[in-house]
């Protein structure tokens, strides 16, 4: 198991715990509410949406180049945020590990 794969799994696990705690504390809509209460919150929200969209574009292009269907991960990113991208990177790492050295 590569160091990158271990790191991705650790990040998913820790972020999953944080997300579960946030959901238990404020619920799904409560996570979004602060982003609509100030210009600062709105800026953070829009920034995250831009990054998520760029990640989706990258996943589709990278998936085409590597023969991976990225669309399930794009949908997961739209629904769950970073989890979609993180799981795409896990699959990408598993595929590259099976076929030789990974390229970034």
Rg (CA), the chain: 16
Phi and psi angles of residue 38, each rounded to the nearest 5 degrees, phi first: -155, 165
Return the pLDDT at 96. Answer: 87
Task: Extract the tokens encoding 61.
Answer: 């292009």
Residue range 16-71, pLDDT digits in tens: 999 999 999 999 899 999 999 999 999 999 999 999 999 999 999 999 999 999 99
Kindly report the three-state secondary structure assignment for every residue of 1-70: CCHHHHHHHHHHHHHHHHHHHHHHHHHHHHHHHHHHCCHHHHHHHHHHHHHHHHHHHHHHHHHHHHCCCC
pTM: 0.86
């Amino acid at each position: 198991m590569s160091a990158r794969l271990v790191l991705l799994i650790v990040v998913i696990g820790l972020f999953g715990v944080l997300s579960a705690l946030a959901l238990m504390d404020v619920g799904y809509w409560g996570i979004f509410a602060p982003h609509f209460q100030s210009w600062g919150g709105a800026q953070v929200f829009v920034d995250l949406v831009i990054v998520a969209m760029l990640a989706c574009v990258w996943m589709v292009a990278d998936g085409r180049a590597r023969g991976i269907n990225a669309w399930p991960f794009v949908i997961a990113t739209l629904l769950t945020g970073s989890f979609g991208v993180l799981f795409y990177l896990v699959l990408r790492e598993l595929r590259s590990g099976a076929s030789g050295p990974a390229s970034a």
